[in-house]
Structures are given as structure tokens and as C-alpha cells.
Amino acid sequence: MKTLILILLTVTISFASPLPNNSIVKIFSSISTPDYKYPWQTSKISNYTGSGAIIKDNMILTSAHVVSSSRFLEVQKENDPKKYIASVKYISHQADLAIVEVNDKTFFNGTKPLKFNSDIKPRDEITVLGYPFGGQTISTTKGVISRIEYINYAWSSEYLLAIQVDAAINSGNSGGAAIDNNGDIVGVAMMTLSNTNNISYLVPSIIVNTFLKDIEDGKVDGFGQDGLLINYIRNDSVKDYFGLKNDNGVLITKVEYGIKDFKENDILLEIDGKTIANDGTIESQYGRVNCTLLMHKKQIGETIDVKVLRDKKEIAFTYTIERLEPLIIKEFAKEPRYIIFGGLAFTPLTKNYISAISTKSNGIEMLFYEKGKTDDFTEPVIWMQDIFPHKVNRGYQSGAFVVETVNGEKIKNFNHFVNLIDNLNTEFVVIETMEKEKIILNVKEAKESFGDLKRIYYLNGDRRLKWKVITQ
């Protein structure tokens, strides 16, 4: 009986204006999926559909995962049989957002750009518009906002503000608009929690607005990161040790490479005048949320005012927001780099590769748990699991080991590794890994072996040293 009441309640939602169906588009995307486990192979082409919303300046807002790595894009309006060729103009993988443009501006005839509303709260009614699988026409799903809080986005693993709703968001809905009763966008359909009943998430308008402000200069700079590892303070002894006299502040336990203003053992007290509680939250228009929101509302290069407790003294300073890349990155819309030497394959260690060899991922992740960049180490290199068998490499097997040295010289990054391999002037090369595996090859034989390998395994080349960006 309770379920029936809920259905009746959601059906009776009224709108101040008709649903903006002509402003919601269907997106047809031909995607080239990079193969990180076998990077020398041709990328697989797959076809997907998603949704988008027409906003100001003839822009179509959608999800990054709908159009990332697309080779060919088309868009279509409700009740219009014609498909129009489109292209990706801007993309933020961090926030899972993208802007699509259509060269033929007649596509926008009869449409109205949607506006945004960031003034929302739990229990507000919403309607999700899009083109999920199972039909050709637009679908409307009604529900309410359940929560507004920080989560890790599925597409990027980025920790950003999100809206949880009880409306069903199915495959094909991604990129569609969730609107309020006035027809304004409150969020963009992003993901659904699996094995649950109607728990879905939206990218909120406040994050979308930061993205739209970012692209005003014609490029995507991204969302800022402070490079801090923090501990919540829940123990009175910790408060006494650092001289805290209230329930405010979080402990900074690690400062990433390149960050100058913060120090380990600082207690972060305030950002832009907002007091930070011991659990890292601040008061906001959405209730208590993670204090990082204050930075995510601003652009790279802008500043925030910070107050910390350092050596039991309060210190105030201005911090310039920047974007920091971790030691192990996740790549998007790029063909992976690699080099084959003596039938052994090597590649930069990325989250993409870790995902591709999931059976070995835990061991690799433990090696780099909480490790960051240094002046002498900016990118790990992996000896890939797959070997091209040849007499030059007989007896070797790889478990996806991390390269540490080449002839005793520590590896800084992938380019450094390739440079060392290409300029070997010794009879033998000794490659050692963090897992204490050791490779010894005859240099002349290893270099000459690629002629055989190319013929036997139908390889086009022994390397891809630069990112090959996947574009239309």
C-alpha cells in the first residue's frame, strides 16, 4: 500500500510550464575504446546512445562518459526524424560533463535553452528527462531529491558534490536533465547505484556552473585539488595535543608534492570564513557538506582565504587554487603508450592498466599506497603481463611488475625509461623491479629481435611514445 501511495504522489507533480521536451536531445555516439591491456591492438569501436540538454549559446550539455573517445557523433530532437552531425567542444572528465556543438544551427529551431537552478534541498521534486533504452521517444521519470553530499563519481573517481534521487535512471538516460517544477535544470543524470532500487545520482547545477565558467576562456582547466590528506579529529587527546579548544578543524597528515602553503600537522580551521568541523564539513545551502565545496565553486588560479592552527598558533594565508595530478593517473580519450623491447612490453602505470589487469591490481596499489610524486619520480613504469615469446626472452614471465632501475639507474618516468633503453651501450641490460624481479638481456639481440616479432605477431610498430588523443 505504501508503494502505491508513493507512485500516486509522484504522478501528481504539477509544473509551472509544460515539460521542455524539445530542449532534450538524443545523442548517438560511436566510441573508440582504448585497450590498455594490449595497447598495440586496434581500438574497439562500439555504438552507444545517451541524452543531452540544450542550454545557452546553442550548446548541448551532456555527460562526459556519453561522448568520451567518440569518433562520430549525431544528435536528434524529439519528433524530428533527422539526425544532425555533432562534435565535442569541451569535456570535463573530472565532473563527467561535456559540451556538444552542432554546426547546422537549424537544429536549434523551435528549441528553448534551459536555465539552471542551484537553490535546492532534500525532498524537492524533480523530473528526469532523457532517452533510456527500451523506446525511441523521450522518457520522463519523476521523484525527489534524497541527499546532497560528496561522493566519488563513477566515471572519474573524483570526489565531488552529487545529488542522490529516488528516480530511476537507466542506460541511455545519462546526460539528460533533471528539472524542477519550473523546468530549470537542477542536475545532469550521471549514474545509478547497482543492486539497489531506484538510487541514482546527478551532477548538481552548482558543479555544472563551475564547469561552464571554466570554459569561458575556450579551454578546460578543471576543478582544483588541495593535495592534502586529512584525518578527522574525534579523540579528545588529539585535540589536547594540538591545542584545540573546540570541535572545529581537521588534521593535515600529508601534503602532496608541489604544495607550498600547507604543512603536515596543520589543523585546517577555516576556508573563506567558513568554520570547518572535526568531520571536515561546513554549513552550506545544502546542509553540512564537505569543505572542499568552497574550492570547487571557484576556478583554477582563483584564491581562497585559509586559517590553520600551526604549533598552537592561528595562521591566516591566501591559497591559490591549482589542479594536481596524482602519481598514478586515470587517462581519458587517449591511446595508451608502450614500448616493446626484446619481446617484453612496458607501459606507464595508470589506473586504466590496473583496471585492465584486475587480478593483480591489489598488489600494485599496495606498492603505491599514499605515495606521491617527487622531483625524481613522476610516473611509474610497468613490465606488462603479456610477453611476445622469442628465443631472446626465453624463461621470463611477468606478473605486471613495476620497473625500478635500468642498469642501476632509477627510473623517473616512462620517457626516461625509453631514453635509457634506446641509448644502451653495454653488452647486457639489467632491468630490476620493485618486486625484486631481475631481467637480463643481450642488448644487441633484444634490439634486433623486433624484426622477427613484427613478422610473427603482426605488430605495426614497437612503440607508441606520445599520447594519441582520440578525436572525431
Report the catalytic residues: 65, 96, 174
Q: Measured between alpha carbons, how far is residue 63 from residues 45, 99, 104, 299 in Å?
A: 19, 8, 22, 20
What type of residue sits at position 31?
I
- Pairwise CA distance, residues 456 & 371, whole Å: 40
- Pairwise CA distance, residues 358 & 160, whole Å: 25
- Pairwise CA distance, residues 128 & 21, whole Å: 11
Nearest to 91 by CA among 64, 113, 60: 64
> Please, are residues 242 and 236 in contact by the beta-carbon 8 Å criterion?
no
Over its C-alpha atoms, the chain yields an Rg (Å, rounded) of 26
> Please, are residues 229 and 218 in contact by the beta-carbon 8 Å criterion?
no
State residue 92 phi and psi, 5-degree precision. -115, 100
Q: What is the DSSP letter of 293?
A: H
Q: What's the grid cell of residue 333?
A: 580519450
> Please, are residues 269 and 275 in contact by the beta-carbon 8 Å criterion?
yes
- Name the one residue in this structure whose C-alpha cell is 620497473: 403
Look at residue 188 and give its three-state secondary structure.
strand
Nearest to 87 by CA among 135, 137, 27: 27
Chain CA centroid to CA 96, Å: 7
- Pairwise CA distance, residues 380 & 190, whole Å: 31
Look at residue 131 and give its three-state secondary structure.
coil
- Pairwise CA distance, residues 268 & 59, whole Å: 40
Q: What is the DSSP string of 4-63?
A: HHHHHHHHT---SS---GGGEEEEEEEEEE--SSSTTSPPEEEEEEEEEEEEGGGEEEE-
Nearest to 214 by CA among 89, 329, 68: 89
- Strands 84-92 and 463-464, sheet pairing: unpaired
Nearest to 392 by CA among 336, 444, 332: 444
- Pairwise CA distance, residues 47 & 70, whole Å: 9
